Amino acid sequence: MPAARQPLPPTSPLACFPPVIDKQTAILILGSFPGEASLAVQQYYAHPRNQFWPLLSSVLNEDLTSLSYEARLTRLRAHRIGLWDVIAACTREGSLDSAIREAQHNDFAQLRHLCPALRRVCFNGKTSGKQAPLFAAAGFDTLVLPSSSPAYAAMNFQNKLEQWRGIIAQF
């Protein structure tokens, strides 16, 4: 008789990063949840094939990719752009959004207080974009963007960039 398989221990909850926001933040980009590469180094969009930083470099006409992580965040703040994730904590094996389990969303109730200048909330991909109606109902201009993740290969960089330019359009 074969030995019974022992159940795998539950995956420890993973936590997102603190928001990169301040009172001057006018545009907030919300991702779903950091991937493994980002969690490993505690930096937003750290996977080398993630197109987030190259896309924003093109949108802002400023080379963010050659800067240190802290310098990138400083430049984003100078452009009044903030970063955060929709999911505060979850369990997940790997980096795919489809593997996210037991998601707990961030509490955005204090967002107007923390970011009184906030006008536009952009969503990096469909998973975070599911929250767009809630932000629109709260009076924010919303924009769901094609994911910058290397797992989303349905669009090439140029086609993604056309939509990502909407981050700062009419702003």
Catalytic one of 50, 61, 156, 159: 50
Q: Is 28 exposed, middle or buried (0-12, 13-18, 19+ CB in 10 A)?
A: buried
Asked if 102 contacts 48 with a C-beta cutoff of 8 angstroms, the reply is: no
The model's pLDDT over 150-163, given as tens digits with 9 standing for 90+, comes to 888 889 999 999 99
Q: Let me know if 156 is a catalytic residue.
A: no
Place of tokens 């989303």: 152
User: Which amino acid appears at position 74 of this protein?
Assistant: T
Cα 35 from Cα 115, distance rounded (Å): 26
CATH code, 23-167? 3.40.470.10
Helix 52-60 vs helix 69-78: crossing angle, to nearest 10: 40
Q: How many residues does the chain have?
A: 171
Place of tokens 């999911």: 87
DSSP summary character for residue 82: E
The model's pLDDT over 82-106, given as tens digits with 9 standing for 90+, comes to 999 998 888 878 766 777 788 888 8
The model's pLDDT over 113-169, given as tens digits with 9 standing for 90+, comes to 999 999 999 999 999 999 999 999 999 999 999 999 988 888 999 999 999 999 998
Mean pLDDT across 35-62: 95
Q: Residue 2: is its pLDDT beyond 80? A: no
Q: What is residue 153's predicted lDDT score, i.e. its pLDDT?
A: 84
DSSP summary character for residue 74: H
Q: Sketch the domain layout of the chain as residue ranges.
A: 23-167
